[in-house]
Structure 1
Amino acid sequence: MSVAVLGVGMHPWGKWGRSFVSYGVHAARAALADAGVPWTDVDLVVGGETVRNGYAGYVAGATFAQALGWNGARVATSYAACATGAQALDTARARILAGLCEVALVVGADTTPKGFLAPNAGERWDDPDWLRFRLLGMTNPAYFAMYARRRMDLHGATPEDFARVKVKNARHGLANPNARYRKQVSVEDVLVSAVVSDPLHLLDICATSDGAAAVVLTSLDYARRHGSASPVRVAAVSTVTPAFPNTVLDMPMLSTDSAGVVGAPERTFKESIAHAAYEEAGIGPEDVGLAEVYDLSTALELDWMEDLGLCKPGEAEALLRAGDTTIGGRIPVNPSGGLACFGEAVPAQALAQVCEVTWQLRGQAEGRQVEGARVGVTANQGLFGHGSSVVLSV
């Protein structure tokens, strides 16, 4: 079963110095206008929570509903770090499929601090991300660097490969009016930028940004009644958690047979996120026409290509070098420009990906259009052992 994506909207990413609420309202109104849906028809508002933005962020659903003007809609609020938008989308989708509402507005917005994102106040001794911050002093760039180093050791990736990811995404982002960074760069530009955490340079990692994205979901009946015969549809939302004993995000657990011989590893948790989405949508990675993935660092994009099954482990660099992941290639990755061009506005990120895939499937991504795409997939990693993937189709 699926629901219609009738409208999408964004507030441009940047550092604007205003409340996250103003960004969310801007994106929401853009999505409603895109859908041609009056605010009075919205009967559910789901807000992506922004924990660092105070009380209003903790009750984001009600915050956005109030700012748009009370209309009697029900509200809900979701928090899942970088996977927040997808979980909020799933909440709205579930109520529509259950027949409990017809029109849902999903909004994510953020106002971020300068520099690295830091853990919130309090002690969380069972949270591995809190522990790496507090005990190891390991901010996100150092964490990303460990992924990059592992990729170099396992698959022979080079700093030049990571730089090529940035070059590709920067080129894609040139035509995106919502992107914060719209400037072409070269491999040399990346490699001469400051080393932040070896082997990653400044241009290998994304910034923190202000921004917002919003999506209007409706039942298929509502969409048809309002003149949309073949809307973009949400074919699947995966928000699975690990299954014991494979409880680590990236490392497969080795199994043994009765003789104690180590067998082939099961899929990693990140692979299972995509597998669950494909299974629910009734498709395989070979059906995907484009992907919007979580590129907090250039090396992470290469990992996600393999986690999504777009290529086999160790093959991402070859696809990149061959131009297969650029617009016009076999499987364009991050045609929006990705987080490389946007930066992190945490509760908005997964929704921004849905916006981009929707524009692409409609044929409205001017200047960065992926021709002929009928299925798009997104991927995000959240904190505390979870993540998300959304499949959209026409």
Structure 2
Amino acid sequence: MTGDVAVLGAGMHPWGKWGRGFTDYGVAAARAALTDAGLHWSAIPSVVGANTVRGGYPGQVAGATFARALGARGARVLSVYAACASGAHAIAAARAQILAGLCEVVLVVGADAAPKGFFAPAGGERPEDPDWLRFRLLGATNPAYFALYARRRMALFGDTPEDFALVKVKNAIAGAANPYARYRTPVSAAEVAASPLVADPLRLLDICATSDGGAALVLSSLDFARRHGAGRPVRIRAVSTVTPEYPQPALDLPDIATDSAAALPPAPRSFRESIAGAAYEEAGIGPEDLSLAEVYDLSTALELQWYEDLGLCAPGEAAALLRTGATGPGGRIPVNPSGGLASFGEAVPAQAIAQVCELTWQLRGQADRRQVPGARTGITANQGLFGHGSAVVAVR
């Protein structure tokens, strides 16, 4: 049985700081996705919501919150939380419902209303929360560990702040062409270099913001899509939500006193490599088959790391690949043609869904001025707290 499901509809609420509740953004995105799919809310038997920890109790039961706001009419509801990968886990749950035959069409929704700053996380004091601990005890907010990634690349591969700035320049060009992006003004490398230093070597324009926003998808079985007249829809072929792969502790290893290859521990794969590798394996493709990629560019340096972990180039070659223009508009493998987090900022539970919205529009040829010519296969990738990450492969 094929693991493909069809993307019938994609919708978003523009990113920004709008000052309203997350439900408003999610409902607007859901209605846009339903319109795109040509379906009325009454035709939807199941809703999967990506949770936000910042929305109080309604945010912890997002599936029910969105279903109620759209009109309580007996739809099955499910709520999913997986930090930055919440949206992809919601997609995975919807896909599983469809492939299991529980229903033929599912609405997936994620939205967030993000607060300003790091030192007052939602819910007050949370000493069991590693984010709270590093914020309050170490002062290590997100930009601090983004900077550690950057310093590591500089030490290992000779990357420079000028290389990091080029990522922002590239993504700002793409974001300027995206009506859903929060930041829609091109910037120069000189402007990046002149922005305030936040966590050495990263400057303000190297780091993504936090935003309000929403995204939604209508997914269906291939049979439903055909009956609905969808023709040749975009299909989700793989959803990866795996952990890193590292050798087990010595006591758990097989008997090493044999000549069996099974006695050798597996080669380690980093968090990002594991996510990408599992997606490629499930989809039956490799990086050479990609038309584009949407990656979680929490910082400019982290986008370069994704190039290598997605297999777009060898370790240490990301900056060189960027400088050739291969990952920019018109390049061999455009990365973040949406503008990425550099242009959107994070609306955490919506972001992985928004990445698939962009793949959908690109593979349909509906991305207007940011269109990747002839796009046929795309991958998304993100990472979050506690080893939550995801990659989604979509094909046309």
TM-score (ref. length: structure 1): 0.93
SS of the counterpart of 2:48?
A: strand
Q: Deviations over 1:122-151 (max 9, x none)?
A: 4454x5444322321100001100000001
User: 140, 149, 152: which is aligned to 1:150?
Assistant: 152
Q: Structure 1 residue 323 and structure 2 residue 301: aligned? A: no
Distance 1:219 1:384, change over 3 A: same
Q: Is the 8 A contact 1:273 1:389 kept in 2?
A: yes
C-alpha displacement of 1:290: 0.2
Q: Is the 8 A contact 1:129 1:384 kept in 2?
A: no
C-alpha displacement of 1:264: 10
C-alpha displacement of 1:118: 5.3
Distance 1:237 1:257, change over 3 A: farther
| CA–CA distance in structure 2, aligned partners of residues 157 and 294 of structure 1 | 19
Q: How does 1:215-294 map to 2 (within 5 A)?
A: 215-243=217-245, 245=247, 266-294=268-296
Distance 1:147 1:207, change over 3 A: same
C-alpha displacement of 1:10: 0.2
Look up the match of 2:252.
Answer: none
User: 304, 307, 310: which is aligned to 1:305?
Assistant: 307
Q: Which amino acid aligns with 2:395?
A: S
Distance 1:117 1:372, change over 3 A: farther
Q: Which amino acid aligns with 2:63?
A: G
| CA–CA distance in structure 2, aligned partners of residues 160 and 389 of structure 1 | 28
SS of the counterpart of 1:143?
A: helix
Look up the match of 1:7.
Answer: 9
Structure 2: 5+ residue stretches without partners: 250-255, 259-263
| CA–CA distance in structure 2, aligned partners of residues 13 and 109 of structure 1 | 10
Look up the match of 1:89.
Answer: 91
Q: Deviations over 1:98-128 (max 9, x none)?
A: 0001110000000011134754444454x54
Q: How does 1:48-87 map to 2 (within 5 A)?
A: 48-87=50-89
| CA–CA distance in structure 2, aligned partners of residues 216 and 204 of structure 1 | 33
| CA–CA distance in structure 2, aligned partners of residues 94 and 86 of structure 1 | 12
SS of the counterpart of 1:357?
A: helix
Q: Structure 1 residue 209 and structure 2 residue 247: aligned? A: no
| CA–CA distance in structure 2, aligned partners of residues 7 and 117 of structure 1 | 38
SS of the counterpart of 1:367?
A: helix
Look up the match of 2:389.
Answer: 387
Which stretch of the first structure deviates more once superposed, 161-170 or 303-312? 303-312
C-alpha displacement of 1:243: 4.1
| CA–CA distance in structure 2, aligned partners of residues 206 and 117 of structure 1 | 17
| CA–CA distance in structure 1, aligned partners of residues 160 and 104 of structure 2 | 50
| CA–CA distance in structure 2, aligned partners of residues 382 and 118 of structure 1 | 19
| CA–CA distance in structure 2, aligned partners of residues 323 and 156 of structure 1 | 19
Share of identical aligned residues, percent?
71
| CA–CA distance in structure 2, aligned partners of residues 118 and 352 of structure 1 | 26
SS of the counterpart of 1:372?
A: coil
Distance 1:72 1:3, change over 3 A: same
- Corresponding pairs, count: 383
Q: Which amino acid aligns with 2:78?
A: A
Look up the match of 1:197.
Answer: 199
Distance 1:117 1:281, change over 3 A: farther
Q: Which amino acid aligns with 1:83?
A: A
| CA–CA distance in structure 1, aligned partners of residues 245 and 297 of structure 2 | 25
Q: How does 1:91-110 map to 2 (within 5 A)?
A: 91-110=93-112
Distance 1:44 1:264, change over 3 A: closer
Q: Structure 1 residue 170 and structure 2 residue 172: aligned? A: yes
| CA–CA distance in structure 2, aligned partners of residues 70 and 357 of structure 1 | 31
SS of the counterpart of 2:272?
A: helix
Q: Is the 8 A contact 2:307 2:313 kept in 1?
A: yes
Which stretch of the first structure deviates more once superposed, 130-139 or 104-113? 130-139
User: 353, 356, 362: which is aligned to 1:354?
Assistant: 356
Distance 1:299 1:131, change over 3 A: same
| CA–CA distance in structure 1, aligned partners of residues 133 and 394 of structure 2 | 36
| CA–CA distance in structure 2, aligned partners of residues 117 and 189 of structure 1 | 28
Look up the match of 1:160.
Answer: 162
